[in-house]
A and B are shown apart, each in its own frame.
Chain A
Amino acid sequence: GAVVSQHPSWVICKSGTSVKIECRSLDFQATTMFWYRQFPKQSLMLMATSNEGSKATYEQGVEKDKFLINHASLTLSTLTVTSAHPEDSSFYICSAREVARSIQYFGAGTRLSVL
């Protein structure tokens, strides 16, 4: 299957700092990428959908100024958690839609710990 690379896999940061997470589709072009948040023992919660070259669409309750999403190319989307606070600590997962087979492939996730 198609490969999606997500980096970093784990990041620890101080409260008030910003953290950037990258999501890359390695062997296919992804016009649409998705960002999820997953709490322990729960399902995936969609945060936002990003389409290449346009502004991301955020789900209700997700602060767009706090979770900045950029999808500048067909293979790269980034999520920046601005002014992170301990309550932002979570597991963040990206996925990319492979158009040919209409399947979402997932990155390995990023564990964010805010001290």
Chain B
Amino acid sequence: AQTVTQSQPEMSVQEAETVTLSCTYDTSESDYYLFWYKQPPSRQMILVIRQEAYKQQNATENRFSVNFQKAAKSFSLKISDSQLGDAAMYFCAYRSSFMDSNYQLIWGAGTKLIIKP
């Protein structure tokens, strides 16, 4: 079975600085998807970024980028120019590409990101 591990329960960063959140996963599959979701205090889950395993190029979305290391099974999220609105819980998630997985997401435990003004 697949697992997702986020080893940092909490991280803090100074506003305008860069922070990297770690995520590792375990799978025997070669094709899958990886996601970072953000859950601010409102508790609305928001998709931050998505990566397809077959793509070697790291995904980027404005100030958010990932470092996807397939061999190492690592999927870290880098947030550049941190803003107060980035304060939230960040969850890493894995999804198999196989239909019999019912497209379920496997979740990490989350990392609480604190932005210091």
Could you list which residues of chain A lie within 8 angstroms of chain B, going by C-beta atoms?
A: 1, 32, 34, 38, 42-44, 46, 49, 51, 57, 91, 93, 95, 97, 102-106, 108-109
Instruction: Kindly name the residue among A32, A43, A49, A105 whose own CB sees the greatest number of chain B CB atoms within 10 A.
Output: A43
- Using A49-B104, A51-B102 as known contacts, list a sample of 17 further A-B pairs with CB atoms less than 8 Å apart, ordered by residue number in A: A32-B102, A34-B105, A38-B43, A42-B110, A43-B91, A43-B109, A44-B107, A57-B102, A97-B103, A102-B103, A103-B47, A103-B50, A104-B103, A106-B44, A106-B46, A108-B43, A109-B43
Of chain B, the residue at the smallest CB distance from A31 is B103
Of chain B, the residue at the smallest CB distance from A1 is B47
One digit per residue, 1 when the CB lies within 8 angstroms of any chain A CB and 0 when it does not, for chain B 92-117 equals 00010000001111011110000000
On chain A, the residues within 8 Å of B42 by CB distance are: 108
Per the CB 8 Å criterion, the residue count for chain B at the interface is 20
Q: Check B45 for interface membership: any CB of A closer than 8 A.
A: yes
For the A-B complex, the count of residue pairs with Cβ-Cβ distances under 8 Å equals 48
Q: Is the CB of B44 within 8 A of A108?
A: yes
Given contacts A43-B107, A43-B109, A43-B110, contact A91 B102 (CB under 8 A): no
On chain B, the residues within 8 Å of A1 by CB distance are: 47
Of chain B, the residue at the smallest CB distance from A6 is B44
Q: Is the CB of B45 within 8 A of A95?
A: yes
Instruction: Report which of B37, B43, B104 forms a contact with A34, defined as CB distance below 8 A.
Output: B104
Instruction: Kindly name the residue among B42, B43, B45, B110 whose own CB sees the greatest number of chain A CB atoms within 10 A.
Output: B45
Chain A to chain B contacts (Cβ below 8 Å), 20 pairs:
A32-B102, A34-B104, A34-B105, A42-B110, A44-B91, A49-B102, A49-B104, A51-B102, A57-B102, A91-B43, A93-B45, A102-B33, A103-B50, A104-B47, A104-B105, A105-B47, A106-B37, A106-B46, A108-B43, A109-B44
